[in-house]
Structure 1
Amino acid sequence: MIPQIGFTELLLVGALALIIVGPKDLPLMMRKVGKLWGQARGLAREFQSSFEELGRQAEIEELRKEVEALKRGDPVKDIQKDLDETGDAVMAPLNRKPPADDAHGAGGAPEPETKAEGDTPDAGEPPEDAKSS
C-alpha cells in the first residue's frame, strides 16, 4: 500500500532539500524533478495505452474468428432450413384430407341453407305486410 504524505512530511522534505541543496540550486533541482516526474507520467500513460491497444486487438481478433466461423457455417442456409421445416410442420395438418365418412360430406362443415325463390321478397317490392295496408 502506498503511504500517504501529509503536510508536515512535505514541509520536512522541503526544509531538508533547502538545507542540503541550498537556496541557489533549489529552483534548478525542482525543475529537474518536475521534468522527471512528467516523463514518468508520460511513460505510465504510454504503458497503459499500449495495454488498452493490446486488449482492443485481442477483442478484434476474437470478433474476426467469430465472423469466419459464421461465414463457414452459412447461417442464412441454416435459418432457411429451419423455416422450411417449421413451414412444413405448420402446413402438414392443413394439407391433410378429412375422412370421407363424415355426415356433411367432404368439407366437414355444413353448407349454408339456401332459400327458395319465393321465400324472400324482391328488392324492388315491399314486404307483404306493407302491401295489405
Structure 2
Amino acid sequence: MLPQLGFAEIIVLSLLAIIVVGPKDLPKLMRKIGQFMHKIRSMGQEFKDAFDEMGAEDEIAEMRKEIAELRKMGSIEHLAGDIKSEMQDLNRDLRGAVGEGTSESNTQSSSDSGDGVDEPKRKEPSSGGA
C-alpha cells in the first residue's frame, strides 16, 4: 500500500503514535483508522462499479442499435435469396463466356486446317539394310 515504507519506518511511526495518542487510546484510534479505510475502499468499489455499469449500458444500447440496423437491412433469408440469385447470374455469364470461347476455338481450328499450310510429314524408318 504505502510505497517505500520499511520496517524501521513502521517502528518509528508506532512509537510516535504511542507518544502522541497514548497507550490507552491507541487501540481505539487504530480501530477508527481501520473503519475509515474500509469506508474509503467500499466507496472506491462503488465508484468503479458505477462506471462498469454505465459502460455495460452503453454496450447494450450500441448492440440494440446494430440489431435495429440489421432489421432495417432485411432478413437473413432475403439476403440469402439475393446472394443466390447473384450467384446464378454469375454462373450463367460464366457458362456463356466459356461456351463462346470454345465455339471460337473450334471455328479457328477448322479454319486453320484449311489455310493451305501442310503439316510436316514424318519420316518413316527405312526397312532397307544399312
- For the criterion TM > 0.5, the same-fold answer is yes
- The within-5 A match list for 1:58-97 is 58-76=58-76, 77-92=78-93, 93=95
Instruction: Provide the C-alpha distance between the structure 2 equivalents of 1:56 and 1:50, rounded to a whole number of angstroms.
Output: 10
Deviation at 1:7, TM superposition (A): 1.6
Secondary structure of the residue that 2:5 maps to in structure 1? coil
Structure 2 SS opposite 1:4: coil
State the 1:17 CA deviation.
0.6
Q: Which TM-score applies when normalising by structure 2?
A: 0.65
Cα-to-partner distance string for 1:58-114 (whole Å, 9 max, x where unaligned): 1111111111110111152233212111122214527x7x97xx9xxxxxxxxxxxx
After superposition, residues 23-34 of structure 1 pair within 5 angstroms as 23-34=23-34
> Greater CA deviation, 52-61 or 71-80?
71-80
| Amino acid across the alignment from 1:41 | R
Match of 1:14 in 2: 14
Q: Which runs of 5+ in 2 are unaligned?
A: 107-130
What SS does the corresponding residue of 1:23 show, helix, strand or coil? coil
Question: Which position in structure 1 is the counterpart of 2:52?
Answer: 52
Aligned-residue sequence identity (percent) comes to 35
CA distance in 1, matches of 2:12, 2:79: 75
* d(CA) in 2 for partners of 1:74, 1:6: 67
Q: What is the RMSD of the two structures over their aligned residues, measured on CA atoms?
A: 2.5
Where relative contact order (Cα < 8 A, 6+ residues apart) is larger, the structure is 2
Runs of 4+ in structure 1 deviating by more than 3 angstroms, as ranges, are none
Structure number having the greater helix percentage: 2
